[in-house]
Amino acid sequence: MEEAGGAADDVRAGDEMVGYYVFNASQAPNHSSDTLGAYYVSNVPNQFELYASVGKLHIASFDHQIREFDSEMFVHNNDAAPGYPPEDAYEVFCWEAKVTDAFGVEAGFFFQLRTDSNLDALSSTALPLLPPPLDKFQINSITLNIGGQGYVGGRLTSLTRSL
């Protein structure tokens, strides 16, 4: 991690975050266009699961059962917002996670990969079966918000597919 702001005392800048997320790659997008695929999922097996550890902090996704969905994934392929250049981007938001060793403490996890100069970083708006190459993205960031207690932030150093 590159920065920690008011986060748990057990996390320091320089700590390595290790984790994984699992998603149903065959899921159809909830919203799609020629340039954007938006996927809204519940944090349940066969839809989406996330686990991560940094320092002595461990988080796990959970199904909140109050919201319509707990996590989101976005795939932008040559997508251009009004007034901005086209970009390729891959974003994962896990809105519902808990700190596993602190009863009741909720967390949110977010990572994004974005580029407006390598528009071949992604080839479609489908969820990628193979991880996109990190070196093709100008923006590469991870943020872990720990419910009212602070945050840790950093960048992805590897993204691999489990077999």
Which tens digits make up the pLDDT trace of 25-66?
899 999 999 999 999 999 898 899 999 888 878 888 988 777
Q: Is residue 148 part of a domain?
A: yes
Check: CB of residue 108 under 8 Å from CB of residue 155: no
Residues with Cβ within 8 Å of residue 11, at least 6 apart in sequence:
1, 4, 54, 55, 56, 57, 152
pTM of the model: 0.88
Establish if 118 belongs to a structural domain.
Answer: yes
pLDDT given for residue 8 in this prediction = 53
Q: Are strands 106-115 and 139-146 parallel, antiparallel or unpaired?
A: antiparallel
> Residue 135 domain-assigned?
yes
Region 13-21 average pLDDT:
86
Give the Cα separation of 37 and 78 in Å (integer).
12
Q: What is the pLDDT of residue 2?
A: 57
Structural domain contains residue 161: no
Tally of structural domains, the chain: 1
Domain range for residue 44? 3-23+30-95+102-154
Residue 120 lies in a domain: yes
Let me know if residue 163 belongs to a domain.
Answer: no
Within a domain: 159: no
Is residue 160 a part of any domain in this protein? no
Instruction: State residue 135 phi and psi, 5-degree precision.
Output: -70, -5
For position 31, what pLDDT does the model report?
A: 94
